[in-house]
Amino acid sequence: MFKDACLALGLLENDREWTQCLEEAAALYTESQLRIFFAIILIQCTPTHLKKLWLCFYTNLCDDLHYYLYKEYNILDSTNEQHFDLKLFLLDKILHQSN
């Protein structure tokens, strides 16, 4: 609540510029490039509402996972749960490589 009040008063930046950057990048970048870009935003820019930003671009970040699971693990009919786990794994891997 304190954070929301500070945002409303303009004391903190909102995530509008990160949303706009990711919208533009989603039209130009591959999913793997977009994941790296998302990780850079997380590390360097510290967005205010991380979960909201993640949920907004959840699909764009990982549209390639069905093919990835097939190519890397020979999983033909991957589930949403497998996609979700892989999304988090790949993002975590990028974040750890950045540190």
Of 8, 50, 57, which is closest to residue 35 (Cα–Cα)?
Answer: 57
Residue 20 pLDDT exceeds 60: yes
The 10s digit of each residue's pLDDT in 30-72 is 999 999 999 999 999 888 888 999 999 988 988 888 898 999 9
Q: Which domain holds residue 87?
A: 2-98
pLDDT for res 10: 64
Beta strands in 1-96 (DSSP E): none
Determine if the pTM surpasses 0.85.
Answer: no
In sequence order, what are the residues at sequence separation of 6 or more whose Cβ sits closer than 8 angstroms to the Cβ of residue 32? 64
Cα first-last separation, the chain: 31
Domains held by the chain: number: 1
